[in-house]
Structure 1
């Protein structure tokens, strides 16, 4: 994928007509996503007065580190780590390891692209760390009432949920076939693994496990987003309570009170939607930030995280689904929905106000933390701990010397015969 990003970015930087057109617009501020840093590099090259870094995910470690935001590795779970009281020392080891690996992965993409641009176009562009550090704000796709509590900076603005419009979802008319399915049985479960990973490409053992689970629950309707509408062999295996659909209006479906449970891959968009809709969820993380998203949703008491490697275990999956259909999970999910819908500051309004502020005042050096200027030893107090250790060791050696002197003075030497 990094090669595709390089090719695309090279074409953008070679397009002088595009550069001239953008310069004529005299933009006050640019908002760019750092997963593909080309937009940030272009903004720096064109010398647009103000930059806002906007992350589509809740965290990208090297970007947050560049602005000086604390990592919180000792209590914020990384991929595959538990959260809270169930978190142990190996979870923290995993957090550090994943931090190092994800940072290395992103930096490799950033540096390779920057080297390619400099070599093949001769443009003068700063390093990604400098560009991010000089940005007016860092927008990140997190909501304080949903995400893990963590230390942050005024410069880091959470905008998670800015596009969530629950009233619009509820007013959207569902297709007639979905209306009928939602009325067929007392409980209805919706299954979707997102747009990137297709259920139709799932290993057969996983499909069989899911199908057997659904067969064991004939009183529950299952709506399954299954992309291959011509898979006749697959459809022959399905019981009458299972309804595969190539596409579904997910927000409107989640907002319908007749839906009982959502089985999802845990993409941040789906997690945000189900949280706002107030529907219990089973999160089956596949990759990247999805394990963290699952733990984030689980801590509110309306969701459970289920390993993708256990999808073939139909009995275990059925037990979890039956558990999640209990009323207490729906109550907890509804509470989270009310929290998000009634939060004191609307995320969309927060985004607009900060963007307008950055456009007016450009570079906001007042928000830069001095911690960015500290080296590793200073930031983590290693220099102070070394001084304390030396002082302690010196005092210990001094007392040992005094005790030895007093002891040997008080003990008379034996006389030689």
Structure 2
């Protein structure tokens, strides 16, 4: 009997295999870290060995706790040049500037310079990577935006790569794997349009898409092993078994996807855990003062303190016009002299956003529409006023607005008292927004396969089998002419024209014969 039980135990143990995952996450932007950290923790919770490689770029993120379950964290200290590149990045200008594709390119290039310098630093000192070689990783998860990931993966000889994106969509990624991504029906990564576009909007979206493809691309990087060989980023991406995207099909625009693209949007939201979070006595007192409460936060990359003075003054005037509503405003400095010392306005440099969104006493959220905030408020069913500032926030706001639980304003509307007040009043008084927001939250809770299961099952499958050529569409290798059937259209069109021409010649001949005058016979 003991032998049988022992045999069963061996079978069960043998059937459960853990893989070695490397999650590569340069520390430069809060939302990106949070997404990759959640992937790491989810894989750790599933019983796998996860190493979190975190080169530091911005010091302010060095001591932020992003990980819970993952204990194997490898930090890389920045060179002086890399640290200076991170510090000089300033996005506050977008409070007063448009964020079109052309104007956003310099910000993208700033990220590219950071990652290029990180690559140079690693190339000059491979000691950390040499230590990691012994761990024999089965798979690597990284953000596609950071091209430094590819020479690292090649150097460590990792067989399965999982390029990921903390945003919902990247046309360049889609095209690399042969996935349809037409700008006529799919808003680009930083588009301010929805999927139902006018001719003018489709034209602008297409121009922006083409502009990005021409001017925003990863820099050339040579192999850490062989300085004579360039790393083929496009080919390595195309051969990846899966791509993990921070989009959710029940929230985002419907679109054609390959099996390679795995939508894990919502992976960073644990609704049950959020609802169990406890607020401090300070926040409890604020929420208990009035029946309605509003949270204001513009995220972690662009700060409220940097917005134009007229915006701050307008917000304060609007808040003053709602004496029976409490407002909590995430504001990053102590000087709030512009606030008129309103009794219903409370400032905080940091707010427990998830706990507040999960609290039934919170009535609405005024947000910049960062993807993390949009996902959290969607899962919690909160009505919102969305005021996107730059990057993918414009696209996110349109994505959520189509579910009829939110109102979108332009950032320039922050100087318009009537518009801002009307939007907040509508959100607070019209029940349809609350009903629609809660309906979306229920759908996300009830989705057939959870983002957690999608991530774990695909990550395990990819780690086990590596590259999956059977998922690589032949369309990726087709020419533009073949893919869009231009050759077939020309061929069929030529035949049709030939037949029509022949028909015309025959008809003309027959007509001439019929109309020819009859000759008299003498």
- Normalised to the residue count of structure 1, the TM-score between the two structures is 0.92
For these two proteins, the number of residue pairs brought into alignment is: 406
What is the alpha-carbon distance in structure 1 between the residues aligned to residue 202 and residue 479 of structure 2? 23
Question: Which residue matches 1:174?
Answer: 279
What is the alpha-carbon distance in structure 2 between the residues aligned to residue 217 and residue 353 of structure 1? 49
Question: Which residue matches 2:195?
Answer: 83
Residues 333 and 123 of structure 1, relative CA distance in 2, 3 Å threshold: farther
Question: Which residue matches 2:357?
Answer: 254
Which one scores higher on RCO, CA 8 angstroms, separation ≥ 6? 1
Shift of 1:121: 7.8
Q: Answer yes or no: is the 8 Å Cα contact 2:370–2:396 preserved in 1.
A: yes
What is the alpha-carbon distance in structure 2 between the residues aligned to residue 34 and residue 252 of structure 1? 31
Shift of 1:83: 3.5
Shift of 1:321: 1.0
Picking from 51, 56, 80, the partner of 2:166 is: 56
What is the alpha-carbon distance in structure 1 between the residues aligned to residue 184 and residue 341 of structure 2? 45
Q: Answer yes or no: is the 8 Å Cα contact 1:170–1:256 preserved in 2.
A: yes
Q: Answer yes or no: is the 8 Å Cα contact 2:248–2:264 preserved in 1.
A: yes
Q: Answer yes or no: is the 8 Å Cα contact 2:151–2:223 preserved in 1.
A: no
Q: Answer yes or no: is the 8 Å Cα contact 1:187–1:220 preserved in 2.
A: yes
Equivalence map 1:216-365=2 (5 Å): 216-229=321-334, 231-235=335-339, 237-325=340-428, 326-365=430-469
1:195-246 superposed Cα distances (whole Å, 9 cap, x missing partner): 00010100112112212221222221111111111x14323x3532211211
Q: Answer yes or no: is the 8 Å Cα contact 2:364–2:382 preserved in 1.
A: yes
What is the alpha-carbon distance in structure 1 between the residues aligned to residue 210 and residue 477 of structure 2? 21
RMSD over equivalenced CA pairs, Å: 2.2
Picking from 250, 262, 265, the partner of 1:145 is: 250
SS in 1 for 2:252: coil
Q: Answer yes or no: is the 8 Å Cα contact 1:45–1:123 preserved in 2.
A: no
Shift of 1:381: 1.6
Residues 105 and 275 of structure 1, relative CA distance in 2, 3 Å threshold: farther
Q: Answer yes or no: is the 8 Å Cα contact 1:190–1:261 preserved in 2.
A: yes
What is the alpha-carbon distance in structure 1 between the residues aligned to residue 440 and residue 176 of structure 2? 32
- Normalised to the residue count of structure 2, the TM-score between the two structures is 0.74
Equivalence map 1:18-37=2 (5 Å): 18-37=128-147
Equivalence map 1:192-231=2 (5 Å): 192-229=297-334, 231=335
Residues 378 and 238 of structure 1, relative CA distance in 2, 3 Å threshold: farther
Where structure 1 has 5 or more consecutive residues not aligned to the other structure, the ranges are none
Question: Which residue matches 2:90?
Answer: none
What is the alpha-carbon distance in structure 2 between the residues aligned to residue 58 and residue 30 of structure 1? 20
Equivalence map 1:62-101=2 (5 Å): 62-78=172-188, 79-84=191-196, 87-101=197-211
What is the alpha-carbon distance in structure 2 between the residues aligned to residue 286 and residue 232 of structure 1? 22
What is the alpha-carbon distance in structure 1 between the residues aligned to residue 341 and residue 186 of structure 2? 41
Q: Higher helix fraction: Structure 1 or Structure 2?
A: 1
Residues 359 and 412 of structure 1, relative CA distance in 2, 3 Å threshold: closer
Q: Answer yes or no: is the 8 Å Cα contact 1:82–1:91 preserved in 2.
A: no
1:380 equivalent to 2:484? Answer yes
Deviates more, 1:396-405 or 1:313-322: 396-405
What is the alpha-carbon distance in structure 1 between the residues aligned to residue 220 and residue 133 of structure 2? 23
